[in-house]
Structure 1
């Protein structure tokens, strides 16, 4: 046993990239766990304190916020992840600063316009899309959060490009729900004591928006600090780098915008269509089952945090062998840490969902189906990021487009007939599609497998 441990240690110490992958993903995993716990505490506070209907209202408002903010980012968040990782490694900080400035000039006015547009169209979205006019004030609250949410992602993905994993994970993943849970918990205790007369269903989304605003401001100052440090360390004797033109930046960001938008829309199509065809209670139950199922791919999310900038780094150096090695190593870690969670959720779905309240046990079958889809997502590894970080963003965009159509059709057919089970089936099939196809494309383009293997 000691010799095995010693061999593992030697392998890690002798492989700089594996060591960085393990260190970065470990930090990301811990903070992701913290974020998930905070997220479930926030969910529990809503479900236990305000019921499934309030959870459904929050889920629909949150969906509108996420979809709007993805559009508002114009794909610049993922583009900055790639460009910052590539050019900071080469010491080209002038290019990093120039790309960041151009990104802000593009997304700031566009996301502000989008926020105002959604605010004034909220009543139409609620009435004509969801057939629920009473949702209009909740959607107006969500629209206020679009701009800070966009800027939060711009700055945190830039930090991720610098491999500042702790800062990235806390600001984008954990911090929002930690702050939101604290505020909601305090107000949940105070409101009955002082008999404060407010619309309780508005409370969760309002608190979430406030938390986003606070974390967005923090992310800006953290990014500016690291940008300044990088610029100071830049060797002024080097010839000044050529700035990237707007058309080139947009040629990278726009396909990423479509990919992100379609992926998010696909991920929330089930929730939206449940909101159209079924009740807020069913939306709330399904949303909890969906959030729980995503624990299956938690290791994938953690490892992607550091793997994505490393893929961009290897691509920038033209080191395909190094990229393949990191992809293989990361996939092994993801597969074997996800498999036990799959078994747990398949064997004990009702007790797990019962934690959130007895009414949520109705989502047990949906949880099992969603978990299988998430396991497929985890098992094939970081194939989507490999395509996006290596110049194949348009191909990945087309895959997600096809998956979105499949998901939309399946949801339209299944949800009116079998409700949340139909939504889960549609989601699992679509998630599997956008992972299996890229897996074979990565194999075709770069000649390496990403599924776990014992071959050396």
Structure 2
């Protein structure tokens, strides 16, 4: 419940942030921020190398086995590898900032902002990693505080202050830098408190930590690939729109995408609680409990998502116009994206289930298979249909990979993740 309330508040703050962004800077400002944010997300995938996902599995496993000292060891190893990988990514972004600016903005005016994106790679990767570690330790409040909602509200605070002294679109990226300067020490403070409160007990078994870096990376690498491929599926539209169309069109699409994502609000909140639980119940080998927990989770998501879909279908233009009349042109885009997001909500936590239950490679293959049509559809449809083409490509591949994951789970575990009982005749 705490995670859901935080997520709900975070979404509300997120829309407030984009409302202010649209009010201050219009569709172009929203488009520039969305492009820079997407580039940052791309960078942190390579900085984290999948450790933000694997740490959930490791901590949940060690906690259940009462190997509390192992939790601190695996956490520190993850921090070290993220710092190492993040440094390499940062240096690469520094070196090619001018070329990246030319690629997405058709000029070098934004090269300094790209440079700052490189600078923010390690802080954001660490914040994500600490958030997932807190979730694994069942500190849902701490995990929820480190989500995008907090980033947006702190950014808004700094944006108001900076614009008070000197109004400029540059203040968007400066406020993001100041926000991470606040959240990094806060995240480490919460980790320290969580470790001291939850890991006081002695290990039940006096074993030596035997996992080598090679073994850890072998577990983590498929999760990194899944994260990378998931990024391709989720953000190719923004990057390719930035390449083909003006920033104003990217801004309209980004706003439609944000609104459509409300369909999966509860899914994300459920995932924040359920991911460690998936691994824990699976390890118990209680098939009935495992099935019921997944179906109940998906039913909860469906109950909240269906009314959102109906609302979007009935009032797409009116919802978009809340952020400015120029956003109303994204009506059809919003309808297409909402349909795809609803199918994702109806399918449940498919990829997370596979990742938490020893089927990382299956998840990886699904995302690889789905990313190819995603790139091709965006490539062919955007030049012809613009932002609606990107919406068609995104929704089609979203439905594809969720459907494939549902079928793999059915084959591996004998049930469908849909909220209602559906049986195939044998």
Structure 2 length normalisation: TM-score? 0.96
d(CA) in 1 for partners of 2:132 and 2:226? 16
**Match status 1:358 vs 2:325:** yes
| 1:356-435 equivalent positions in 2, closer than 5 A | 356-435=323-402
| 1:9-408 equivalent positions in 2, closer than 5 A | 26-128=1-103, 130-188=105-163, 190-191=164-165, 196=166, 200-235=168-203, 238-408=205-375
Does the residue aligned with 1:51 lie in a helix, a strand or coil? helix
358-367 vs 443-452, greater mean Cα deviation: 443-452
Structure 1 length normalisation: TM-score? 0.89
d(CA) in 1 for partners of 2:6 and 2:379? 37
Once the two structures are superposed, what CA deviation does each residue of 1:102-160 show, in whole Å capped at 9, x if it has no partner? 11221112102211221221101122455332221221121111010010011110111
308-317 vs 237-246, greater mean Cα deviation: 237-246
Give the deviation of 1:273 after TM superposition.
0.8
- What root-mean-square deviation, in Å, do the aligned CA atoms of Structure 1 and Structure 2 show? 1.5
**Match status 1:450 vs 2:417:** yes
Give the deviation of 1:454 after TM superposition.
6.1
Give the deviation of 1:261 after TM superposition.
1.3
Task: Check whether the contact 2:51–2:224 (CA below 8 A) recurs between aligned residues.
Answer: yes
Give the deviation of 1:164 after TM superposition.
1.2
Task: Check whether the contact 1:62–1:205 (CA below 8 A) recurs between aligned residues.
Answer: no
Give the deviation of 1:28 after TM superposition.
1.3
Give the deviation of 1:404 after TM superposition.
1.4
Task: Check whether the contact 1:275–1:283 (CA below 8 A) recurs between aligned residues.
Answer: yes
Give the deviation of 1:431 after TM superposition.
1.0
Once the two structures are superposed, what CA deviation does each residue of 1:336-377 show, in whole Å capped at 9, x if it has no partner? 211110111111000000011000001111000000000010
d(CA) in 1 for partners of 2:402 and 2:154? 33
Instruction: Give the gaps of 5 or more residues in structure 1.
Output: 1-25
Once the two structures are superposed, what CA deviation does each residue of 1:300-323 show, in whole Å capped at 9, x if it has no partner? 011111111101111233333322
Count of aligned pairs between the two proteins: 422
d(CA) in 1 for partners of 2:206 and 2:182? 39
d(CA) in 2 for partners of 1:122 and 1:321? 52
Does the residue aligned with 2:97 lie in a helix, a strand or coil? helix
Give the deviation of 1:270 after TM superposition.
0.7
Give the deviation of 1:95 after TM superposition.
1.6
Task: Check whether the contact 1:160–1:305 (CA below 8 A) recurs between aligned residues.
Answer: yes
Once the two structures are superposed, what CA deviation does each residue of 1:162-217 show, in whole Å capped at 9, x if it has no partner? 121111011123211111122223333x13xxxx3x6x222112212321332122
Task: Check whether the contact 2:10–2:147 (CA below 8 A) recurs between aligned residues.
Answer: no
d(CA) in 2 for partners of 1:151 and 1:53? 30
Does the residue aligned with 2:199 lie in a helix, a strand or coil? helix
